[in-house]
């Protein structure tokens, strides 16, 4: 049996930050929902929202003790993405290292994504 890579992965910093935020919630949370929406000059922006329960139809990714729910409309655009949390002198926030990203706008508010190619999809799934 071939192990399939995860749809998305988290760095330790991203997992730590998500857990810290979720622990401060007034009510129990099931995980973090990730998606994309039309936005900005480059085309789309990543969306993140905390979920009280698993959204029906979402892909579920467990990584480093964090549950991610992936919007089905975003799967082919997020395949292979690594989510990080960075802290710089002037900013902090989640950063997506996405192999499907073609470009980004200059202000950093939106990105252009392409669906994963058939070759990359086959490679990802352990095929030829």
Tell me the CATH number at 58. 2.60.300.12
Query: What is the percent of the chain where pLDDT is above 70?
Result: 88
Domains of the chain: total: 1
Which residue range(s) make up the domain with 37? 8-124
The string of pLDDT tens digits covering residues 20-39 is 999 999 999 999 999 999 88
- The answer to whether residue 14 sits within a structural domain is yes
C-alpha distance across the termini of the chain, in Å:
15
How confident is the model at residue 86, as a pLDDT?
A: 95
pTM of the model: 0.82
- The answer to whether residue 34 sits within a structural domain is yes
DSSP state of 15: H
Average pLDDT across the chain, whole number: 86
- The answer to whether residue 37 sits within a structural domain is yes
Contacts with 73 (C-beta within 8 Å, 6 or more apart), sequence order = 35, 36
Distance CA 16, CA 65 (A): 9
- The answer to whether residue 1 sits within a structural domain is no
- The answer to whether residue 70 sits within a structural domain is yes
- The answer to whether residue 3 sits within a structural domain is no
The string of pLDDT tens digits covering residues 1-14 is 444 568 899 999 99
- The answer to whether residue 2 sits within a structural domain is no
- The answer to whether residue 54 sits within a structural domain is yes
How confident is the model at residue 2, as a pLDDT?
A: 44
Can you tell me the mean pLDDT for 53-59? 95
């Amino acid at each position: 049996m071939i192990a399939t890579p995860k749809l998305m992965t988290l760095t330790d910093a991203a997992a730590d930050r998500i857990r810290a935020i979720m622990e401060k919630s007034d009510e129990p949370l099931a995980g973090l929902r990730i998606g994309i929406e039309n936005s900005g000059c480059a085309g789309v922006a990543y969306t993140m929202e905390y979920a009280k329960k698993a959204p029906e139809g979402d892909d579920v990714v467990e990584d480093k003790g964090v549950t991610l729910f992936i919007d089905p409309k975003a799967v082919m655009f997020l395949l292979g993405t690594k989510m990080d949390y960075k802290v710089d002198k002037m900013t902090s926030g989640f950063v997506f290292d996405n192999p499907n990203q073609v470009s980004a706008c200059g202000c950093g508010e939106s990105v252009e994504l392409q669906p994963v190619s058939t070759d990359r999809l086959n490679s990802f799934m352990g095929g030829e």
